[in-house]
Amino acid sequence: MDHLVSTSLLAADFGNLDRDVIIVNDSVADWLHLDVMDGVFVPNISFGFPVIRSVRKVAQKPLDVHLMIVDPDRYIARFREAGADILTVQYEACIHLQRTVTEIRSHNMKAGVAINPHTPVMLLKNILPYIDMVLIMTVNPGFGGQTFIMESYSKITELRKMIDERGLDILIQVDGGVGPENAKRLVDSGVNVLVAGNSVFSAINPVEVIQKLKNPL
């Protein structure tokens, strides 16, 4: 399968959000990535349902929503109503993870589980049959523009082996410090979905950067 590009709106210009969503619409990006932060699970606050609903009205791509919040179970149905197509929760934030991802799928969304840089991929062994995607955070979550953590490559390789040995159909997504300079190595390591925000929206030509992420050299 060709890899996907999910463009993170956390790095977009919120004063011109419609414009930046349209830029992604007109690019070869596959998804729009939205990071929801509550200021509790991570030391930052981003946006919630009103922004997602506004993006949904303009977006022509699936909405890939990553919840960096405590107690995500309370809001699953509301995120679907707001327009989420893929909903990813943090492993570290879920007490009853299998129940959470089953609930996500029951609302006709793809279910993802994210792990922080310090969390071993082996902890996902028993949840893999119940999910559609694993998001490996390649920076500590909370802020955009951070430097990629190099140890992430070994986690990607380990997870790819776990998935393939069991014959599971699960996407591996990475988020944090992703750009044209490391896109090829990430894909070669087994990544299916590249999340990129700062490298796209800080560029003079965001569409060109997305093209480079989609076809890395």
Domain edges within the chain: 4-214
Q: Is 64 a catalytic residue?
A: no
Among residues 30, 35, 64, 132, which one is catalytic? 35
Per-residue model confidence (pLDDT) at position 192: 98
Domain spanning 4-214, CATH architecture? Alpha-Beta Barrel (3.20)
pTM confidence score: 0.96
Q: At what angle do helices 17-25 and 49-58 cross, to 10 degrees?
A: 50
Q: What is the pLDDT of residues 79-133, one digit of tens each?
A: 999 999 999 999 999 999 999 999 999 999 999 999 999 999 999 999 999 999 9
The enclosing H or E element of 86 equals: strand 86-90
The answer on pLDDT for 1 being more than 80 is no
The answer on pLDDT for 142 being more than 90 is no
d(CA 3, CA 6): 10
The enclosing H or E element of 110 equals: strand 110-115
Q: Is 35 a catalytic residue?
A: yes
Please compute the mean of the pLDDT values over residues 154-162 and round it to a whole number. 97
Q: What share of the chain is helix, strand, coil (3-state, %, to 5)?
A: 40, 20, 40
Among residues 20, 30, 85, 175, which one is catalytic? 175
